[in-house]
Copies of this chain bind each other. A is one copy, B any other.
Amino acid sequence: MKIPSKYIENAVEQLSSLPGIGKRTALRLVLQLMKRSELEIRQFSDAFIDMKLNVVHCQSCGNVSDSVICSICSDEKRDHSTICVVEDIRDVLAIEATQTYKGIYHVLGGIISPMDGVGPMDLNIQPLIDKARENKIKEVIFALSPTMEGDTTNFYLYKKIKEFEIEVTTLSRGVSVGSELQYADELTLGRSLINRQPFNF
């Protein structure tokens, strides 16, 4: 695919550097952008620069934020002794959407994944251990993805904080609400049998 304009080629190159966007998709998007006015293009471009220059990580939980302490950590109505450990902001948004959690978060910024070259040192782990040492936490909830990497990270964190007297919990595993039992995978179904709960009605 030889694009007859080096500027379009560069724009396609940049867009297709994003994960999951190929050259053809990028060209389609770029041609759509071309139809916009210069002002609109500037608004489009400036959004990313403004974001890079203004967004910081909350000094308390590591979540992305516009201020030094994010809106969740600075909310005094929340329970600051319960900390939910998540991978990134998308998990925070997902849990906040449930409206069932009133504690605060700790955002790792990734999970331990030797395959991708991500080790404990690359993650936002030390502040959590500091908080635990300072006796500020009653409960830590591990809410990482139920994958090999998630479990590895859980185990690493557990080893680091088990010396302090903190209750450590994890999200319950089981069949999804509203799903058909026959389509649940055997591992999940097995776990949900072992961890069966008292029937509430």
Contact = CB atoms under 8 A, between A and B. Distances in A.
A109 to B, nearest CB: 9
A66 B34 CA distance: 13
Given A42-B49, A49-B45, A93 B2 contact: yes
Nearest to A21: B29
A11 B55 CA distance: 11
Nearest to A26: B18
Most buried by B among A7, A65, A72, A96: A7
A50 B10 contact: yes
A108 B108 CA distance: 51
Interface residues of A, number: 58
B28 A64 contact: no
B52 A48 contact: no
A25 to B, nearest CB: 7
Contact of A51 (B10, B66, B92): B10
B4 A51 contact: no
Interface in A37-70: 38, 41-55, 63-66, 70
A97 B1 contact: yes
Contacts of A65: 4-5
Interface string A124-143: 00000000000000000000
Contacts of A55: 5, 7-8, 34
A161 B154 CA distance: 71
